[in-house]
A and B are shown apart, each in its own frame.
Chain A
Amino acid sequence: MNKFLFLILCVACFASASMLGMDALGEEQVHGGMTNTAGRGFAGGAKTGDAEGLSVVNPARVAFDTKVVFNLNFLIDLTAIEKDDYAYSSNNIGLPSFNFSFPMGAYGALGLSLWQHYSSNMDEDVKDTASNMDAQVKYQGSIYELVPTYAVRLPFFRMLSLGGSAHFVIGSVERSLSFGPDNSAVDKKDSWATNSSKVTDYVSGNWEIKNHPAYYSVALQYRGRQSSYFFSFTTPYVLQNDLAYNLRFSELDTLVPTRYTREIKVPALFATGVNYRLYKRHNVMMDLQWRAWEDDIENIAGSWDMPSVTKTQNDFMVSVGYQRDGSSLFYDPYLERTTFRIGGWMKSWYVKDVYEYGGSLGAGLPMGKKGTTIDLALQGGKRTTGGDGNWEELFFGIRIGLMGVGTWGQSRGR
């Protein structure tokens, strides 16, 4: 296990994920970036089971779970950006979400998620041709959400469940650009003064929701013998980012930063999905989600020639998937007990003219007899842009999910 962790840390050294929307919110981890969902093309919000776990889009689903689920997701992301004849690739490792759900039978189910909803990561050195010094470009931003959830099956209408969750936003953003001098505009005899003097343009700030502790999601889920559906609504909210801009020469500098607060109006999200059981353990599913952005997003920017806003568009996602559930009988062959998934999606980003097309393969590998599973998903695709400074991206990712299942609180008789 130590070797595996070492490998993950090695990959983390070259940290950079998608570079789209870096100055706005960053890359969105849809559906909590859960590995099992990602393996089926981010579809399956309506899929129910004994231990499906939490869904941050469909809080009602967890009401149908019967087992306690503990779920931790990793993402190893490889991205190549290209424009004309130029290309650049980078790697990143992330921890998109951590989820815990606790079914309580007739009393419903409780859940708690820690979700890295948006992230912007980049830590690169680039050779500056003017000074021959290394320029460092670092972006590190995360909008985390702590999401407590409650869902309950309705009395008399047991095929229906109602769920709600609150999203408490925390997180920070930091951008650090360290450059060497370009002395081309000064007299040669004056260049000594700035040789080897690095300047760091540093911005940092915190995220929170303006005038409110959280935003909320409500969902209704129907579970039929063959078909299951859900509908969810997430309230709009205003993200507030308090930023401090500075130019740094050393950590001991006493310069006072310029402070500025940007506000980002995040519109309401509508989501729906269907899961259809073809026959025993075979499911096809499709999900849709839609968020109508009205306002442009103010960028971190604040300097150089960086654009001050990121233009937005309607953000929607269509995903389809297939899943063959693994057998729960421990004496079945291993491949029978393994869950297989496949899916694809098309997503229109919140960034104008950015469209993502992706596909994925996934598997749920049972570990032992108690239901502990390692989920694995391989995903790949392309993000197209309409130019405007944005570069197209090819991406490939490995998601690893560790899922522990328990039967706490359940008596043998039930």
Chain B
Amino acid sequence: MKKKIILLSFLTVWAIALSACLFDSDEEGLSNWLSDHGLPDSYNVQTLSVEGLVPSKVDVYRDTTPHIADDRIVFGNSANMSHEMALEFLYRADSAYLDRFSKADTIGAYISFSMLTPFYKDDDIPVDLLPIKEDLKVRVSWSLRKGKYKKFVDSLASVSDSVWLRSLEDWEPDVVVDTTYKIKVKKADSLVYFDMPDAFLDSIKTCYKSCHLEVRFAAPETENLYRFYATQKKNYPVFRMRAVNEGDTLNYFKSYSPFRMADVTVNNDCSDCLVLHGGVADSLVLEFPSEPILNALADFYGDEFPYTKGDGNDVRQAVVLAQLTFARDDSEGENYLGLPIQVLTGTYLDSAGKESYIRELYKVNRKEVVKSGHKNMVFYEGDSLTLQITQGVRNFINRASSGKTLKMMMRLGAPQLQDKDSTYKTHVVEREVTKTKVTNGDTVKTTVIQKDTSYVFLSYHDYARYDFSSMMQKPVTLKLWLATKRGDDDE
């Protein structure tokens, strides 16, 4: 049996060797066969510019929902938008301490916040962030709910973040107090103390068992935006009570940390102004009329657009890349960190009959970027904004017979540190460093490779504001890079 299998194996190898010898093959053989059968070995790229497009509909969507603050939170005002801090404390009161607190000669309480040190120390931010000095007018409001048993606290702790965030939208405080704090922040690692008003002290005296305390700070009049650590970092905010009797040599403190925090935003721009804010999920949704695009395609190919034959789905050509160029004027915008800000784009596709949103990819024009920077940024040199919407246009032409329009979304993204970086992603840069050392009288030179991480985007938002009104009134150019399946005399 084994011998026969070996014989068969031998025959197979022999056959392959025979094919190699007798059945000659050359590099161009297959290419020529493909060409004889009307098959290409590459697709022809054609470009088409559709000029003078004007959005037929522009809607602005404001992000007014509170956001959970895990590792950082902002407080204050920026670009017509107020950021309030909401803190939730869930704790079992220490009744012995509370007795002391209620009877002590001097009592007090504060909530302290640590400045977001790495932000204020970040050398990549080209503007001076510190010092901050002001009389900060703050509206402090709070509500306190009391329970007897631990399960009161446990049940509230089990409330999901989303439910809690929703509750913040129509939250009614028990007490509201306006107060002013003297703020002096010189160092990046400073603490900011908000001493709590007397009414607050009276409130917390009443909770002896299980306590649910919600506190909100708002500073609608300030011109500063403070960035603090939030709950997930070791420098989390602290709510601390102090009770001192005459003659005490020790301070008696009781501290609690917030169970969770949220950034509650209040947008002061008019609801239909075409303004987007950075740091929040404001978005602009644009629709372009289909006729000018389809007419341009019809003129270009000499075909019928929209394609209505058969099932009407058009795969005669494909959009390899599509980009829109808008006229840009940054004068109506405000940014604070002195860096350009990328504009993110997304489009709305038809997925199994339902509209679904997809974030567009960005292909870098490397040569151009190195020379004159990315074109998808605002607060940057130049007078145009170029955005890629490849998947959206591909989908639009594919289903043009359904009568849908080209719909896209714009949003302010992250501040860009390297405006002329063609990699467009965080990467490691290696460089050789020569070190000289004297050992036993000899000078020894050693070369080491130092690695630095090159970040393209800043890790912090610029709570900027950009007004797109004038941009939306000016004509837009859509440029398409197309691959077609049409043959020389086909279709």
Size of A's binding interface in residues, CB under 8 A: 81
Q: Choose the segment among B74-82, B217-225, B265-273, B392-400 that binds chain A (4+ C-beta atoms closer than 8 Å).
A: B392-400
Residues of A within 8 A of B30 (CB): 88, 124, 126, 137
Q: What 1/0 mask marks residues of chain B from 292 to 320 whose CB sits below 8 Å from any chain A CB?
A: 00000000000000000011011101101
Binds A, one of B4-12, B119-127, B186-194: B4-12
* B24 close to chain A: CB less than 8 A: yes
Residues of A within 8 A of B391 (CB): 254
Contacts between chains A and B (CB distance < 8 A), count: 222
A89–B399 contact, CB under 8 A? Answer: no
CA distance A110 to B16 in the complex (A): 38
CB-based contact A246/B315 at 8 Å: yes
Decide if A374 touches B39 in the complex (CB within 8 Å).
no
Which of B230-238, B336-344, B483-491 lies on the face that meets chain A?
A: B483-491
Interface string of B1-39 (1 = CB under 8 A from A): 100110011011101101100111111111111101111
Question: Given the complex, which residues of B lie within 8 Å of A11, measured CB to CB?
Answer: 12, 16
Is the pair A181, B41 in contact by a Cβ cutoff of 8 Å?
no
B351 within 8 A of A: yes
Residues of A contacting B395 in the complex (Cβ-Cβ under 8 angstroms): 254-255
**8 Å CB contact of B487 from A181, A256, A257, A305:** A305
Which has the most chain B C-beta neighbours within 10 Å: A19, A124, A190, A194?
A: A194
Check if B58 is an interface residue, CB within 8 A of chain A. no
CB pair B29–A303 under 8 Å, yes or no, is: no
**Chain-A contact segment, one of B143-151, B198-206, B364-372:** B364-372
Contacts of B309-360 to chain A: CB distance below 8 A: 310-311, 313-315, 317-318, 320-321, 323, 349-351, 356, 358
Whether the pair A394, B4 counts as a contact (CB closer than 8 A) is no
For residue A297, which residues in chain B have a CB less than 8 angstroms away from its CB?
none
Contacts of B9 in A (CB 8 A): 3-4, 7
| B95 at the binding interface (Cβ < 8 Å) | no
Find residues 126-145 in chain A having any chain B CB closer than 8 Å to their own CB. Answer: 126-131, 133, 135, 137
Listed stretches B42-50, B65-73, B207-215; interface member: B42-50
Q: Which of B18, B41, B399 is within 8 Å of A256, CB to CB?
A: B399
Per-residue CB contact flags for chain A residues 168-189 toward chain B (1 = under 8 Å, else 0) read 0000000001011111111101
Whether, in the assembled complex, B455 has its beta carbon less than 8 Å from a beta carbon of chain A, the answer is no
Q: State which of A81, A126, A191, A400 has its C-beta within 8 Å of the C-beta of B41.
A: A126
Which one of A131, A179, A187 has the greatest number of beta carbons of chain B within 10 Å? A179
Q: Which of B5, B46, B318 contacts A249 (CB 8 A)?
A: B318
A81 touches B29 (CB 8 A): yes
A182 to B40, CA, bound (A): 10
Point out the residues of chain B lying under 8 angstroms from A76, CB to CB.
12, 15
B42 in contact with A128 (CB, 8 Å)? yes
Decide: A193 and B365 in contact? CB cutoff 8 A: yes
Contact between chains at A131 and B42 (CB < 8 Å)? yes
B481 at the interface (CB under 8 A from A): yes
Interface string of B171-191 (1 = CB under 8 A from A): 000000000000000000000
Q: Of A76, A190, A246, A258, which is in contact with the most chain B CB atoms at under 10 Å from its CB?
A: A258
A159 at the interface (CB under 8 A from B): no
Residue B363 at the A interface, CB < 8 A? yes
A396 interfacial contact with B, CB 8 Å? yes
Are A181's CB and B310's CB within 8 A? no
Distance in Å: Cβ of A120 to nearest Cβ of chain B: 12
The answer on a CB contact under 8 Å between A177 and B351 is no
Q: List the 3 shortest-distance A-B pairs measured between CB atoms, nearest first.
A: A88-B29, A305-B38, A89-B23
